[in-house]
A and B are shown apart, each in its own frame.
Chain A
Amino acid sequence: MSISPGGMMTFTINGVRLEVEAPPETSLIDILREKLGLTAAKEACGIGRCGACNVLMNGNLVNACLLSAWQAEGAEIVSLEGLDAFPETRLLRTALAEENAFQCGYCAPGFTMALTALFREHPEACVNDIRAALEGNICRCTGYHSIIRGALAASKALAASASSGDIDGDHHPQQ
């Protein structure tokens, strides 16, 4: 048995192993934003109901506001700041931006993270997959359709680049 009496926790964030001083019940969102200055993930409800704080933990989408420090101990966390490491990211960001998927944008990091998790698992996700994958994310501005359109465009682009073997989108088709 081990004990987290408060004090230090160790985890990997965006590929960097870090030791952080935090009482065990501190939520990961507070550690990211307040202690590490990683402000991409947002806190909009603090109880796991909006998805604005989504991060990946060991490859799975989770709410950083629900994760306490002791639960993240030893985990591999990827926040939005670490998405450059993923090959899907460029096409996803471009597709969302070109569709003007977001307005005030405060929910955008969470949606982008949820879509990253979806496309890493199902690069050719259809509209039903996209809707299902975004059920935990609240957007108050857009009415969701622009996000769905952006995600569908991303899915199409990812499928096209996968078939050309160039997932990060640097491939330029022959004229």
Chain B
Amino acid sequence: MSIEVLHPRSAEEALALTAGPPSAFIAGGTALHLQWERDPKAKPARLINLARLDGMREVECGPDEIRIGAMATLGALTRHAVLTESLPLLAAAIRSTAGPAVRNLATIGGNIAGRTGCLLPALLALDASLDLIEPRGPRWVPLAGWLAGTFSETALISGVIIPRNGQPTRWAHRKIGLRATFAPSLIGVAGILDVEGGRIVSARLAVGGGPVPPTRLLAAESMIAGGEITQLDWSSLHAAIREEVVAPDDKVRSGRYRRLVAANALVHGLGGTLPCRHASRTRALGKYAKRTPPALNRHSAGQRWHVRPDGPAKIAGSFPYLTDCLEPDMLVGRILRAGIPHARILVIDTSEAEAIPGVVAVVTHRDVPGRNAFGIVVQDQPAFCFDKIRYVGDAVAAVAAIDEKTAEKALSLIRVDYEPLPAVCDPEKALVGTASLVHASGNLQRQVTLSRGDVEKAFAGAAHVTEATYVTSRQMHGFMETEGGYAFVADDGTLTVAAGGQHGRRDRLQLSRILDMPEERIRVISSPTGGAFGGKDELTVQPALALLALKTGRKVRLKLSRAESVVAGVKRNPMTIRIRTACDRDGMLIANEVDVIADAGAYASLGPGVLETALEHACGPYIVPHVRTQGRLAYTNNGTCGAFRGFGANQMTYAVECQMDRLAAMAGLDPVTIRQRNMRRPQTPGYLGQKVAPTERLSAMLEAAEADPIWGLPQGPSPDGSEIVGIGMAMNYQGNGLGTLPPDPGGGALRLASDGAIEALFGTDEIGQGLLTAIQSAVAQEIGCSRDDVRPVTGDTGSTPESGSTTASRGTYIVWRVARDTAPDFTQKLLAAASGVLRRASPELAIAPGGIVERGSNSGELLMSFRQLAEALPAEELPCSATSFQFPKSDHFQSNARFIFAFGATLARVAVSRITGQTRVLDLHQHTAAGPMLDIAAYLGQIEGGSVQGLGYTLSEDAAMRGGHYLTCNLDTYAMPSIADAPQSMLVTALEELDAGDPFGPRGVGELGIGAVTAAIANAVADAIGYWPEQIPFDPEQILEAMGAGP
């Protein structure tokens, strides 16, 4: 049933309407869609829209007070010059509320009426009052009194009155959230001190926001009011605020933390000193070069900077994503998720859903003709559950209906009876014998061990030993385009499934097993997609789309809402890494012992590979004679985990690189020296004893790190004392390709299309990384045509060959190798064809931008364009060259080992807040060595993008779970970095040269950018405050504690 919306013209009319059926006043309405998403039943029958009330938006600036109409939008207030000048505290509070677009809808009245709004602390400190309209007439009431009273549903706020007491002598405002901006409030504070002749004539302090009741801090106020400002006992005030603030614990932060940061923010903001001990500086590295290394950018790239071919259409909004295909006769698909972490399925009854008009099909496990199991490594995940549920996002059924609303209704009518089972939520406990079984085969999905030397003896004889447990979070990929696409069955019975992915041919193989259908009859279109990062490597919506299209015989579209994507999608495997590392007196590493427990979630997906890769990095790029490592991947009833940029390497790099800095501190070495002493030597076997490719650049990266100008930037306490600045570094290396054990096919083709375009065909996907631009660069360079002559065709099993997966930093090599291998043959065929048409000997001809020219001629005149050549040839004679190969592999087959690596060093300068314990990244520098860059802009984009994704992973991102349920619901409760969290400066350098005779060309950098970011930031925090955070995202409460803050 639709909602009825009423539009009264006057407040009296609006009040009268509340006498009718259950209704709600709506001002800007910015919270409505969020409320309805969380609780669809929360929709009232009627909404009373206040937007059309007369005279409610004005701002009146009188000599004694400012009156703001309740329906004035926050956006309008930020643009009001008098207001922002005369009430800077309010202006600051408004700027900290939501984002610019939301502020253009949200009203000041709405922010107040919700009673949790971020403006309340500021308005309380400003001693604001409200104009109310009640059925018996208008009433004026102080805001504080109104907040303390009971909520009267029949009152309307018509205006906010703020006294103008002149400029306050001192004021403070701070909102603390999970990230720098546009985040729900953890707590907000505001304070004003009016000081006359050195005496505090009035003090108004307030807190509020989120779960904190908005209130004035009257006891603290009275403690300081009337006193001399120079005599103010700030530490007593601090204690009084902590004592007075009422703040609960919740899922994100403790009440204690909230009270502490409220006191810190008010005391510091009003000019007091913070009760933190001074951090001791651990070191100062003085060898940095005064010159800046050549930074990658458009200017330095010169002629090598190209505009990516898909850029303009993406900016104009005309780029066709697969989820933009919205044809009128398409059916709309929806998937029913379990919503329960662990249960036996007793009954699935779809009859009621099938009976409603507009529902064309419902599919369940009963409709799966083939093997109801998929998974890239092991096939343990059902397309549709049949016997039991293993996580909240498990698919139980799917519907196809004529529209979204009907599909949604049908979902609600599918009856599933469950017998709940105990949820296995802790991966460590999952491996205890008494744990409930997630899979009948046992909860230990994979175990990886390695042992060499005599670890016990080595530890016993060590000069320095450091032991720590690093805990990493469940990072969400957060691709902006959620999983989705469309599917249909053509007249010849061929099934087409178009959904953003990372390996169409493997998706097709997996679908063929599920559908019991030959692969030749399935076409998978997997490009383009709006971001993936590993999260679209495994099947997502393809099985449901395929089964719905097959059952209905119609074209079906389906796109997950963000909320459903959170629940259903894979995440980064959380790991608990226990690590003990030892060195001798000189800082030479002698032993390393590592024990990893990784959470697989409900299904393996690529988790086994992630664990292997983590352990492949267990000693970093360092030589350690005595090693014992163990890794266990546990099934739980948590959300399924799998591939994510970095693939386990970044988790382990965090641990190892922090251990290096800790040992350096113990051995009295600087971070460069300890790494120099222990670095692996080029041309020696890799960590697993495998042969590795040439062009190792670790020493060069360490030199670049040492010479980085970041070391010369300000460090230590900030001028205002609110932050402590530190610098940290970490070494970085990332394997390319899937490794020795899995098949790792590569290939591609070039052909002259009938319209004269030189088509470059690749099965890999454009996921944002710049595949298309890289293809243009590589092919144009090898053939001698222009970039615009090249038309990349990607990610479609119907038209592109097997190129392998768009993962593991392997795409660059594939593109380069295909261009290099096919170009000679293709060029020769092009020239031969042109020779026939032009009736000139082939050796007289050459390829140039646009077409065929006379060899050696410098006139630039085309003898024939590619289009003319194509038009002159019969279709079957259009030149075509293809190649296929295996991605280069090492010689080590006892375990999975990488062969080709890219290298780097990451440096971070951070500011650790003494007020909040939060860390801000000021500068992030990445030095990289990955061979020749195919496309500089794409390369730079990968490193910069990886940097900030790593920053989020380190500081704010966690799709936390409790009891098998996600605490994260949508992007309001998942803090990906905003633009305000991005570092002030980023610098990327690239070392391009290869060793003489290195035949492996450019390395991929899809993962290099994220690899060492966490470790560099953690080491920078330790540099600032002498404490290494051992869990990500960092816990600011622990950091405050480590800084000696608080009671």
Contact = CB atoms under 8 A, between A and B. Distances in A.
A48 B100 CA distance: 11
Interface string A41-52: 110111111111
Contact of B311 (A33, A61, A105): A105
Given A97-B312, A136-B98, A142-B941, A60 B319 contact: no
B675 to A, nearest CB: 26
Interface stretch (B430-438, B474-482, B626-634, B1025-1033): B474-482
Contact of A104 (B29, B105, B316, B767): B767
B480 A138 contact: yes
Contacts of B478: 138, 140
A146 B941 contact: yes
B2 A136 contact: no
A106 B481 contact: yes
Interface in A111-136: 112, 114, 117, 131-136
B493 interface: no
Given A44-B482, A108-B315, A140-B480, A49 B972 contact: yes
A80 B9 CA distance: 33
B307 A48 contact: no
B13 A48 contact: no
Interface string B120-144: 0000000000000000000000000
Given A40-B318, A136-B182, A138-B976, A114 B2 contact: no
B937 interface: yes
Nearest to B941: A103
Among A102, A135, A136: residue with most chain B CB under 10 A: A135
Contact of A143 (B33, B480, B532, B945): B945
B479 A104 contact: yes
A4 B51 CA distance: 13
A65 interface: yes
B529 interface: yes
Given A1-B9, A48-B33, A144-B979, A109 B317 contact: yes
Contact of A48 (B30, B298, B326, B531): B30
B948 A144 contact: yes
Contacts of B659: none
B223 interface: no
B480 A61 contact: no
B181 interface: yes
Interface in A49-74: 49-52, 54, 57, 60-63, 65-68, 70-71
B310 A27 contact: no
Nearest to A130: B979
A125 to B, nearest CB: 12
A146 B979 CA distance: 11
A52 B976 CA distance: 14
A13 B948 CA distance: 36
B534 interface: no
Contacts of A39: 317, 324, 326
Given A40-B318, A54-B101, A135 B7 contact: no
B450 interface: no
A1 B945 contact: no
A35 B616 CA distance: 52
Contacts of B948: 142-144
A63 B29 CA distance: 11
Given A97-B307, A137-B979, A132 B100 contact: yes
Given A63-B101, A97-B311, A138-B976, A52 B944 contact: no
A106 B531 contact: yes
A102 B311 contact: yes
Nearest to A73: B7
B101 A114 contact: yes
B507 to A, nearest CB: 19
A163 interface: no
A172 to B, nearest CB: 20
Nearest to A107: B480
Contact of A66 (B7, B33, B51): B33
A156 to B, nearest CB: 13
B553 interface: no
A97 B315 contact: yes
B994 interface: no
Interface string B918-951: 0000000000000000000110110011111100
A81 to B, nearest CB: 6
Contact of A47 (B326, B945, B971): B971
Contacts of A134: 979
A65 B970 CA distance: 14
Nearest to B17: A1
Contact of B7 (A3, A30, A57, A112): A3
Nearest to A84: B316
Among B98, B312, B480: residue with most chain A CB under 10 A: B480
Given A106-B530, A140-B531, A145-B986, A63 B102 contact: yes
Nearest to B769: A103
A37 interface: yes
Contacts of A42: 321, 480-481, 530
Contacts of B971: 44-45, 47, 49-50, 138
Nearest to B13: A1
A6 B659 CA distance: 63
A24 B478 CA distance: 30
Interface in B1-51: 2-9, 13, 17, 29-30, 32-34, 36-37, 43, 47, 49, 51
Among A24, A141, A145: residue with most chain B CB under 10 A: A141
B101 A80 contact: no
Contacts of B98: 48, 136
B173 to A, nearest CB: 16
Contact of A139 (B13, B480, B767): B480
Contacts of B7: 1-4, 70
Contacts of B321: 42, 106
Given A66-B105, A93-B315, A23 B479 contact: no
B561 interface: yes
A43 B49 CA distance: 25
B768 interface: yes
Interface in B34-89: 34, 36-37, 43, 47, 49, 51, 75
Given A45-B970, A93-B315, A141-B945, A34 B326 contact: yes
B178 to A, nearest CB: 12
Contacts of A40: 316-318
Given A1-B7, A51-B101, A131 B49 contact: no
A164 interface: no
Nearest to B480: A106
Among B6, B99, B315: residue with most chain A CB under 10 A: B315
Nearest to A89: B316
Given A4-B5, A105-B310, A105-B314, A47 B970 contact: yes
A141 B9 CA distance: 46
Nearest to A52: B480
Nearest to B948: A143
A122 B644 CA distance: 40
Contacts of B529: 104
B92 to A, nearest CB: 13
A20 to B, nearest CB: 14
30 contacts: A1-B9, A1-B17, A2-B6, A6-B3, A23-B3, A42-B530, A46-B970, A47-B562, A48-B98, A49-B971, A50-B480, A54-B101, A57-B104, A63-B105, A67-B105, A96-B311, A97-B311, A97-B312, A100-B938, A101-B311, A103-B768, A103-B770, A105-B315, A135-B100, A140-B479, A140-B533, A140-B945, A144-B948, A147-B979, A148-B979
Given A51-B101, A104-B768, A140-B531, 16 more contacts: A5-B4, A42-B481, A42-B530, A45-B972, A46-B970, A47-B34, A50-B971, A63-B102, A65-B33, A66-B102, A79-B317, A83-B316, A100-B773, A101-B311, A104-B479, A149-B298
Name the 9 nearest CB pairs between A and B, nearest first.
A136-B99, A40-B317, A104-B768, A105-B314, A106-B530, A143-B948, A80-B317, A103-B768, A106-B480
